[in-house]
Amino acid sequence: MRATQPVFHDEEQKVWHLFRYSDVQRAMSEYATFSSDPRSTMEWQPEETDPILASILRLDPPRHRQLRNLASMAFTPRVVTQLAPRITEITNELLDKVSNSAHELDVVRDLAYPLPVTVIAELLGIPTEMRADFKRWSDALVSDEGEEDREVLFAEIKSMYGYFAQVLEERRQHPQDDLVSALLAAEIEGQRLSDIELLGFCALLLVAGNETTTNLIANSVLCFDQNPGVVERLRRDPNLLPGAIEEALRYLSPIKAMARFTRTETVIGDQQIGAREVVITWLASANRDESQFPQAERFDIERTPNRHIAFGHGIHFCLGAPLARLEAKIMLGAMLERFPGQWHVPDDAPLQPIKSDIVFGVKNLP
């Protein structure tokens, strides 16, 4: 598509698709033309009832800037660096558990899933026992399992918002030293966040902080497995690990695509796109664009420069990027130390891809 139809109009679905790095980068950063708010495509403005739509992910300036400033406080490099000892502790507990288990290791189930969900649950101040519910809820938020499961998905999403509403109420009564209590106390120009904004924030962190980091860790293992010699090189020189993680972000991007909504008419490539159109920016395609990445189909842990856009670009650039990078570095670094020899995904293990238009990863990785 990049070579033949880089700006493609799907007339049946009434959606535009962008495949080239330069076009994706432009649509992600020119927020005045390419809004993040789906309501930009609607002639009337419905009252906001979906919390995810009220989260910063779906807002444009100036409200985006206000909420982002607030949220950024929770994810400054200093705050994230302070989390390192706890992330290392959780990682070692998980690795001890698999070392003492008679079962075959599944990277997704045993390591890549529990690490980020535990970290985010602790950040939000939510008991780790809720982990199984968290998993179902975040799966439901990104799922694309088809019409027949829609009611089950909606029921999951509803129970998630019910749970967060309860947590918000509890923290309102009894504030604690956690992110939810901090958000409840926060004010923008003398005004507290609305309930729907608070719920949206919790849901966004749950899904943004879980599924994506799980997939980053598992996709990195997949890349290392498929490229002989990488594991040995990383073990010989651990300083190569951060570059290898960046390359895995580029090569198997955990988020495949994001949506934008045109506010005005615009020209992109040789195509005229009207106002109020849906535009899908394909990050996974942009990250394989030869004009940006020489030998883009090669997995090269020493690729420099590596300006991938797996974390997006512009004002919505991923807030959790330092945290995701840190978790991946600690977990993969510990795996390299503790699992000697070559890593090998058994040939008879059919990997099941996650069914989703948004995230890219596998459900299992033995």
* Residues near ligand HEM, by CB under 6 A: 28, 36, 56-57, 68, 71, 120, 204-205, 208-209, 212-213, 216, 254-255, 258, 310-312, 316, 318-320, 323-324
Write the DSSP symbol of residue 126. Answer: -
Q: Which is nearer to ligand HEM, 349 or 363 (CB)?
A: 363
Using CA atoms, how far apart are residues 362 and 349, in angstroms rounded to an integer?
Answer: 12
If the CB atoms of residues 140 and 310 are measured against ligand HEM, the closer one turns out to be: 310
Query: CA 166 to CA 172: how far, in whole Å?
Result: 10
Looking at beta carbons only, is 20 or 316 nearer to ligand HEM? 316
Give 236's contacts (C-beta < 8 A, 6+ positions apart).
none
At 349, is the secondary structure helix, strand, or coil? coil
The per-residue b/e assignment along 100-135, b for 16 or more CB within 10 angstroms, e otherwise, is: eeeeebbbbbbbbbbbbbbbbbbbbbbeeeeeeebb
Of 149 and 314, which CB lies nearer to ligand HEM in the complex structure? 314
CB of 321 to ligand HEM, least distance (A): 6
Min dist. Cβ of residue 18 to ligand HEM (A): 13
Alpha helices in 191-339 (DSSP H): 195-226, 230-236, 241-251, 283-286, 321-338
What is the smallest separation between the CB atom of 120 and ligand HEM, expressed in angstroms?
Answer: 6
**What is the torsional sign of CA 144, 276, 198, 56?**
positive
- Nearest distance, CB of residue 314 and ligand HEM, angstroms: 7
The least CB distance from residue 127 to ligand HEM, in Å, is 18
Closest separation in Å from C-beta 243 to ligand HEM? 15
- The least CB distance from residue 90 to ligand HEM, in Å, is 14
In angstroms, the CA 215 to CA 324 distance is 10
> Counting Cβ atoms within 10 Å, is residue 365 exposed (0-12), middle (13-18) or buried (19+)?
buried
Structure token pair of residue 143: 């799922």
Closer residue to ligand HEM (CB): 321 or 349: 321
**What amino acid is encoded at 284 in this protein?**
A
Among 271, 213, 233, 255, residue whose Cα is nearest residue 16 = 271
When the beta carbons of 54 and 231 are compared against ligand HEM, the nearer one is 54
Q: Which secondary structure element, helix H or strand E, spans residue 365, and what is its range?
A: none
The set of residues, in sequence order, having a beta carbon less than 8 Å from that of 109 and lying 6+ positions away, is 364
Q: Which is nearer to ligand HEM, 36 or 143 (CB)?
A: 36
Looking at the Cβ atoms of 88 and 349, the one nearer to ligand HEM is 88
d(Cα 231, Cα 87) in Å, to the nearest integer? Answer: 22
**What residue number has its CB nearest to ligand HEM?**
320
Q: Tell me how far, at minimum, the Cβ of 49 lies from ligand HEM, in Å.
A: 20
Q: Which is nearer to ligand HEM, 39 or 149 (CB)?
A: 39
- Quote the least distance from Cβ 20 to ligand HEM, whole Å: 17
Q: Which amino acid, residue 82?
A: Q
